[in-house]
Chain A
Amino acid sequence: MQIKPILSALRRHKAGTFLIAMQIALTLAIVCNALFIIEQRLAHLSEPSGVDEANIFVVQNEWVGSSTAEQADAKIREDLRVLRELPGVQDATPSNSYPLRGGGWDDAVKLKPDQLQDSSGATIYFADDHFLDTLGLKLAAGRNFRAEEITPMNVRDRLGPPVVMVTKALADKLFPGEDAVGRTLYLIGGPSTIVGVVDLLQAQSVDRWASAFAYRSVIVPKRLAISLGAFYIVRARPGQLQAAMRAAPTALFQHNPRRIINEDDGVLSFAEVRARAYERDRGMAILMGVICVVLLAITAAGIVGLTSFWVGQRRRQIGVRRALGATRQDILQYFLTENLLISCGGALVGTVLAVAINLWLVTRFEMHRLSLMYVLGGVVILLLLGQGAVLAPAMRASRVPPVEATRSV
């Protein structure tokens, strides 16, 4: 295939050539960045929580009327007994929060009491000795809390339990390459000895501001004995989640009606918790996907439209070429090559544009740098799209009979 005649023909259609190339460049730039955002969001929402998601649900219990810390603690223990006695329930634990909740108590962890800079941020999970079993967590090292270590915590108390468990991510951050069990860390209220290391447990917030300490948690042997109430995390027996979710609030109300369990979101299965935590990311990924598809469709339609016009305009020239011995294959090749040249030009500009847009997004929207794979992928997609779009008009061109050369318009 000779490129020179194609180039000289394009020189006579500067405006049209430029517009197609521009359109391809812009589409490439937007599609690359959109694909990159989709990939980031999908990666984010498929991070593991570490808990037995299929069987867990959460009850948000609020008390009516004020009570002393002792009364509140007694009521929580009663509730747990009620929950654990339900036939469909395997285990239950009280806590101040749960993974993917969206926010809650995060605090600083230090290794020395007089340290100015924090060693790490961490999610604080309140737990009793049923916490590991209820959430389905695995111990990487050390031991679980003992029943006698669990104490109630009031609003006035400052958090500094004698023993804590930490997640492996936090242990690796605080004591890289060493055994964390038996070591000491400092929370706001004083020193605590690490007795256990939990393998994997996601933080309560998956937002970007919390990504600095994702998976780093301190599990404290405390029951939140405040008059406001707390969360009950419940693990149903396999296959009995729905039944247990219906039975739990009924049983709780039967036992003590002076409570509030919100009808809309008072009882949430973990699947709902997950959907809520990531709804923004999923929405964004879907939107980006739709935009990409529509954008590619429009660009393809534009190429079809403009090439059709060029084919119509050049019917006579095509006829002449056919009369002079060019095969149908030659004509087809001509238009395909022409489109490839324009697309390559567009892709070149588009690559620069894609990187520029990404750099601008990085400064404004806490994005990561675009990996070159996405640009390459985008270029391939657009080149294929261009070739596909031009195929129909080019086929039509190749069917122009040689006799066209003898006809006047």
Chain B
Amino acid sequence: MFSYYLDLALRSLGRNKMLTALMVLAIALGIGASMTTLTVLHVLSGDPLPGTSGTLFYPQLEPRDMDGFEPGMEPPRQITWIDGMNLLKAKRGDRQALMTGGAVPVQPAQSGMDPFYSDARYTSSDFFSMFQVPFLYGRGWSAADDDNKARVVVISRTLNDKLFGGKDSTGQTLRLKEGAFRVIGVLDTWRPNPHFYDVNMGNYSNAEDIFVPLTTSRDMRFDHNGSTDCWGTGGGDDDHAETQPCVWLQFWVQLDSAAKVAAYKEYLEHYSQEQKALGRFERPVNVRLPGLMEWLDINKVVPGDVKLQTWLALGFLVVCLVNTVGLMLAKFLRRTGELGVRRALGASKREVFTQLLIESGVIGLAGGVGGLLLAFLGLWLVRLQPSSYASLAHLDLSMLVMTFLLAVGASLLAGLLPAWRACQVAPALQLKSQ
């Protein structure tokens, strides 16, 4: 029966090519535009660490003085050196890492290669295990290396390809600024999206090429990049950033169970109280412990323009659908004569309805294929854009399936009303007018 209906549908669609083409085109355009923007949104609002992100938290403390205080203010989005080190040493989480970003001058040993600056991350030993960073060669450094300000470095695969021709470079020496560093690890390709652990350094930027212990970076006086917020007498003096009243570090903690999360929050409150008693903190205790995904939300990582475009495209799809409903209505009602004959010959309303819905499904499928092509074109155009997230805009399998579901679902929805109206014809009346 299905193949018969399919045959009927194709014949009917072939009879009025212009109208069919118009309907397919309308659906294709609507689907193409929606899928392009939805894919970009999907990529940008994705989970950077699927499976682990639920156990990662970003503690916020309130260390500022009373200047400009208002109740209910959000605590700073970074942390001071003193608090960061205290939380790190307390080891109350399953894992924890303190970090900040920077840029270091790399001086290649090879002659003929000019020195260059590389983005760097200064962090502590748990960084690699906590964020499940994949290693190609070697490993990360130990907590002892942190304490000893060891001159060790972990480099990215890209940098390893550039400096060492992709060979296992562990044990080799790399000159950073004026110091000799021993390479102890090479990362495999790693690009978490968004760049969640430090949203000041570009939300969708690449991961850094160089990782060194935070303590070593201070020892070497490596330049610090990113946001620094100061209050009171703080500001400007990067050399004494450890004691300045400034927030410039990020602190992440891994907490594997809900009980631990509650306990950690309690610990943060207790810690703030203690600091207040010591006179370091002045404001009322105000701690927060957002999870990774919540943290991305708070920072509005997904650009507003992308959301706006998505809404616009969905509105566009609705107009295309309304348009298709109108055209299908016209098409189905024009065939009331034919449908009347079928009804008189014994077809039930239900069968006629099914037949018409299959016809709209065929339109939807054709529109889906067209929409997919348009979405590929749209994403290609997006990738030509110079924004940092442009290169990420690719259609994955789930979005591919969604395209077809959306297209067929939308056109079936669009076919419901016209098909129902067309079924309502009284067979006798139609036969009479013939």
Q: A26-B315, A26-B322, A279-B385 are in contact. Are A65 and B178 (CB under 8 A)?
A: yes
Determine the chain B residues whose CB is within 8 A of the CB of A16 once the complex forms. Answer: 326, 329-330
Q: A19-B329, A366-B304 are in contact. Are A158 and B235 (CB under 8 A)?
A: yes
CA distance A62 to B115 in the complex (A): 11
CA distance A202 to B433 in the complex (A): 75
- Flag whether B316 is at the interface (Cβ < 8 A): yes
Q: When each residue 199-230 of chain A gets 1 if its CB lies under 8 Å from chain B and 0 otherwise, what string results? A: 00000000000000000000000000001100
CA distance A65 to B175 in the complex (A): 11
Partner of B312, one of A34, A155, A283: A34
- Flag whether A123 is at the interface (Cβ < 8 A): no
CB of A188 within 8 A of CB of B329, answer no
CA distance A64 to B116 in the complex (A): 8
Q: Chain B contact residues: over half helix, strand or loop, or mixed? A: helix
CB of A367, distance to nearest CB on chain B (Å): 9
CA distance A37 to B305 in the complex (A): 11
Q: When each residue 96-139 of chain A gets 1 if its CB lies under 8 Å from chain B and 0 otherwise, what string results? A: 00000000000000000000110000000000000000000000
CB of B237 within 8 A of CB of A302, answer no
CB of B330 within 8 A of CB of A309, answer yes
CA distance A23 to B115 in the complex (A): 61
Q: A280-B387, A298-B320 are in contact. Are A305 and B22 (CB under 8 A)?
A: yes
Determine the chain B residues whose CB is within 8 A of the CB of A228 once the complex forms. Answer: 223
CB of A66 within 8 A of CB of B221, answer yes
CA distance A129 to B53 in the complex (A): 53
CB of A116 within 8 A of CB of B67, answer yes
- Flag whether B275 is at the interface (Cβ < 8 A): no
Q: Which residues of A25-46 have CB atoms within 8 Å of chain B's CB atoms?
A: 26-27, 29-30, 34, 37
- Flag whether A148 is at the interface (Cβ < 8 A): no
Most chain-B Cβ atoms within 10 A of its Cβ — which of A20, A23, A312?
A: A23
Instruction: Kindly report which residue of chain B lies nearest to residue A227, judged by CB atoms.
Output: B223
- Flag whether B107 is at the interface (Cβ < 8 A): yes
Partner of B316, one of A30, A65, A301: A30
Most chain-B Cβ atoms within 10 A of its Cβ — which of A19, A23, A156, A227?
A: A19
CB of B334 within 8 A of CB of A309, answer yes
Determine the chain B residues whose CB is within 8 A of the CB of A366 once the complex forms. Answer: 304
- Flag whether A22 is at the interface (Cβ < 8 A): yes
CB of B107 within 8 A of CB of A188, answer no
Partner of B318, one of A26, A159, A283, A309: A26
Determine the chain B residues whose CB is within 8 A of the CB of A117 once the complex forms. Answer: 68
CB of B29 within 8 A of CB of A294, answer yes
- Flag whether B319 is at the interface (Cβ < 8 A): yes
- Flag whether B236 is at the interface (Cβ < 8 A): yes
Instruction: Kindly report which residue of chain B lies nearest to residue A283, judged by CB atoms.
Output: B385
Determine the chain B residues whose CB is within 8 A of the CB of A305 once the complex forms. Answer: 19, 22, 326-327, 330
CB of A19 within 8 A of CB of B325, answer yes
CB of B114 within 8 A of CB of A15, answer no
Instruction: Kindly report which residue of chain A lies nearest to residue B236, judged by CB atoms.
Output: A158
CB of A183, distance to nearest CB on chain B (Å): 24
Q: A19-B326, A302-B327, A365-B307 are in contact. Are A279 and B387 (CB under 8 A)?
A: yes
- Flag whether A276 is at the interface (Cβ < 8 A): yes
CB of A62 within 8 A of CB of B117, answer yes
Q: When each residue 325-352 of chain B gets 1 if its CB lies under 8 Å from chain A and 0 otherwise, what string results? A: 1110111011000000000000000000
Determine the chain B residues whose CB is within 8 A of the CB of A22 once the complex forms. Answer: 322
CB of A65 within 8 A of CB of B334, answer no
Determine the chain A residues whose CB is within 8 A of the CB of B325 once the complex forms. Answer: 19
CB of B114, distance to nearest CB on chain A (Å): 7
Instruction: Kindly report which residue of chain A lies nearest to residue B319, judged by CB atoms.
Output: A26
- Flag whether A47 is at the interface (Cβ < 8 A): no
- Flag whether B149 is at the interface (Cβ < 8 A): no
- Flag whether A352 is at the interface (Cβ < 8 A): no
- Flag whether A376 is at the interface (Cβ < 8 A): no
CB of B326 within 8 A of CB of A291, answer no
CA distance A15 to B414 in the complex (A): 13
CB of A95, distance to nearest CB on chain B (Å): 18
CB of B115, distance to nearest CB on chain A (Å): 4
Determine the chain A residues whose CB is within 8 A of the CB of B221 once the complex forms. Answer: 66
Determine the chain A residues whose CB is within 8 A of the CB of B235 once the complex forms. Answer: 158, 188
Instruction: Kindly report which residue of chain B lies nearest to residue A64, judged by CB atoms.
Output: B115
Determine the chain A residues whose CB is within 8 A of the CB of B237 once the complex forms. Answer: 155-156
CA distance A343 to B231 in the complex (A): 60
CB of A301 within 8 A of CB of B236, answer no
Most chain-A Cβ atoms within 10 A of its Cβ — which of B239, B323, B417?
A: B323
CA distance A158 to B325 in the complex (A): 68
- Flag whether B356 is at the interface (Cβ < 8 A): no
CB of B137, distance to nearest CB on chain A (Å): 28
Q: Which residues of A282-334 have CB atoms within 8 Å of chain B's CB atoms?
A: 283-284, 287-288, 291, 294-295, 298-299, 301-302, 305-306, 309-310, 312-313
Determine the chain A residues whose CB is within 8 A of the CB of B238 once the complex forms. Answer: 155
CB of A291 within 8 A of CB of B327, answer no
CA distance A283 to B384 in the complex (A): 11
Q: When each residue 220-255 of chain B gets 1 if its CB lies under 8 Å from chain A and 0 otherwise, what string results? A: 010100000000000111110000000000000000
CB of B117 within 8 A of CB of A260, answer yes
CB of A66 within 8 A of CB of B178, answer yes
CB of B326 within 8 A of CB of A20, answer yes
- Flag whether B386 is at the interface (Cβ < 8 A): yes
Q: A155-B236, A294-B29 are in contact. Are A284 and B305 (CB under 8 A)?
A: yes
Most chain-B Cβ atoms within 10 A of its Cβ — which of A26, A159, A305, A310?
A: A305
- Flag whether A140 is at the interface (Cβ < 8 A): no
Determine the chain B residues whose CB is within 8 A of the CB of A280 once the complex forms. Answer: 303, 305, 387
CA distance A282 to B329 in the complex (A): 40
CA distance A114 to B77 in the complex (A): 26
Determine the chain A residues whose CB is within 8 A of the CB of B309 once the complex forms. Answer: 284, 287
Partner of B177, one of A23, A66, A288, A312: A66
Determine the chain A residues whose CB is within 8 A of the CB of B318 once the complex forms. Answer: 26
- Flag whether B308 is at the interface (Cβ < 8 A): yes
CB of B329 within 8 A of CB of A298, answer no
Q: Which are the 10 A-B pairs with shortest beta-carbon distances?
A: A309-B330, A19-B326, A302-B323, A64-B115, A23-B322, A26-B319, A305-B327, A30-B315, A155-B238, A306-B326
Q: A302-B22, A309-B330 are in contact. List 7 more A-B contacts (CB 8 A).
A: A34-B312, A188-B235, A279-B385, A295-B319, A302-B26, A305-B326, A306-B327
Interface residues of B (CB under 8 A from A): 19, 22, 26, 29, 33, 67-68, 105, 107, 114-117, 177-178, 221, 223, 235-239, 303-305, 307-309, 312-313, 315-316, 318-320, 322-323, 325-327, 329-331, 333-334, 385-387, 417, 421, 433-434
Interface residues of A (CB under 8 A from B): 15-16, 19-20, 22-23, 26-27, 29-30, 34, 37, 62, 64-66, 116-117, 155-159, 188, 227-228, 258, 260, 276, 279-280, 283-284, 287-288, 291, 294-295, 298-299, 301-302, 305-306, 309-310, 312-313, 357, 361, 364-366, 409
Cβ contacts A to B, 21 pairs, < 8 Å: A19-B326, A30-B316, A62-B117, A64-B107, A65-B177, A66-B178, A66-B221, A227-B223, A228-B223, A280-B305, A284-B305, A284-B308, A284-B309, A291-B33, A291-B312, A298-B29, A312-B334, A313-B334, A365-B304, A365-B307, A409-B433
